[in-house]
Amino acid sequence: MPEILEAIHRLRAGSGSRSLFGMLRDAFGDSADYRTEAVGASGSEPVYICFLASLCSTQKLDLLLGSTGIGELSAKLSRYNGTSIGEADQPACEKAICNGSAVICTSLSENGLLVDLSETQQRGIGSPITESVLQGPMYAFNENLDANTALIRQQIRSPKLKMWETKVGELSQTRIAVFYCQGAADPDLLASLKERIGNIQADGIQDSGQLLRLLVSRKKLGLFPLAMSSERPDRSTADLLRGKMVIMVNGSPFALTVPAVYTDFWHSPEDNYVNPYVAYFLLSLRFLAMFMNLFLPALYIALTSVNVDVNRLEISLAASASREGVPYPVFVETFLMLLIIDFITEAGIRLPKTISSTVTMVGGVVLGQAIIQANIVSNLLVIIVAATAITNFIVIDYQMGLVQRILKYFIAIGATVAGLLGIMFCFACLVFYLSCLESFGAPYLTSLRRKGAIQP
């Protein structure tokens, strides 16, 4: 208590023309949640505590604001376990208030005492929302960086797990953390990440996806995601043990894993928990679904309008019979059905859960039956589009699923122009593009080998 009393009594008027109390009042005067409370006097000068009520803990404030004098205030500060006291100037005091601290100052002092009264607003540790868990840990990351750090360290209990932290954003001052395992991660990649994060110029960052766009130069921004996004700690820790790095943003429940290659987006964390033969079978199903999603509508266009002679006679007759009475060309009805399915999918995702299932049922069953009876599309196309929609949901990563939804249109355009040759041309262009793509220095079409074993 003597040290705190001495620090409070040192807050005398300085040589400057303006006091800290006045400058804080000018800076936060238009904020409805800014508070100033008198807590006593130091000699003939009143002592105030300045804070933002929305960021400070109510219990801690009640403890301090109930003081009747400086002696009682300093005694409570001494008794309160965990409250740090420090002296700071006007810019540091403004930043501290924005972070949830309170400033103790006199009406004429140039400096103030910082008291940590912050209370972080966060939801509890729950189950993953965007990633279903069939087997494995059921908890997920939340918006608090400290809580996410604890989840990672609970699974990798080793001093080799390192964490580098900085702040990004002129106004938001968002905390950014990079996790890596010493001895397994690439030091050059770590140095490159630190340099890229340090060069970010932005007013604020709210999500890890926004950070990824700032980390990748505009020349390298493409259709395919260059980092794996996940809210599952078991997936992030498994990637750390493989020598990758995990980037987390305070305020975002999604962790970014870099580098990420193409096959990473098709592996599920459950693959590590089941029989290897079962995992290979499921992985084969996912890649088969990928090819069906990309090429099935294009093959329908090519084999029913351009390369009709490739089919057997029975198949061609069946396709022609299913299109009897349809007034539109093949590519028009195909694009129409693909757009309708994407409309239904987007509506089911964006709408509240209470009515999204109803919209999906109405759009998928009622609309599909009505569009067939109206002879707008053929029965065979409805089957193909339904299979395409189902295979699109087998993809593990949401971002890669969005890419699949876009690519099938380009391949369908190639099939409309040149049939099977156009499909092969689009596939070759896709392979060439992926071959030239890199994710933070790693070739996109190669699997990363595990550089070293980390013993947690």
Q: Which residues pair with 118 in a beta bridge?
A: 56
pLDDT at site 364: 67
pLDDT by residue, tens only, the chain of 456 residues: 445 555 665 665 554 557 888 888 888 878 888 888 877 776 677 788 888 888 887 777 766 665 555 555 666 565 554 455 667 788 888 888 888 888 888 878 788 888 877 777 677 777 787 777 778 788 888 888 888 898 999 888 888 899 999 988 888 888 899 999 988 888 888 998 998 888 888 888 888 888 888 888 765 667 888 888 888 998 999 999 988 999 999 988 999 999 988 888 888 888 888 888 988 898 899 999 999 999 999 998 888 888 777 777 666 667 676 667 677 788 888 898 888 888 888 877 777 766 666 666 666 666 767 776 777 777 788 888 888 888 888 888 888 888 988 999 999 999 999 889 999 999 999 999 988 888 888 888 886 444 433 433
User: Which pair of structure tokens corresponds to residue 53?
Assistant: 């009520």
Radius of gyration of the chain (CA): 30
Quick check: pTM over 0.85? no
Q: In this structure, what are the phi and psi dihedrals at residue 17, rounded to the nearest 5 degrees?
A: -80, -20
Spatial strand order of the sheet with 101-106 comes to: 34-42, 45-52, 101-106, 112-116, 85-88
Phi then psi for residue 439, to 5 deg, are -115, 100
Q: Are 215 and 196 in contact (CB under 8 A)?
A: yes
Task: Please report where in the chains the tokens 């607003």 appear, as a residue.
Answer: 121
Report pLDDT for 220: 64
Burial classification of residue 98, based on how many CB atoms lie within 10 Å of its CB (0-12 exposed, 13-18 middle, 19 or more buried): middle
Query: 376 exposed, middle or buried (CB, 10 Å; 0-12, 13-18, 19+)?
Result: middle
- At 179 the pLDDT is 93
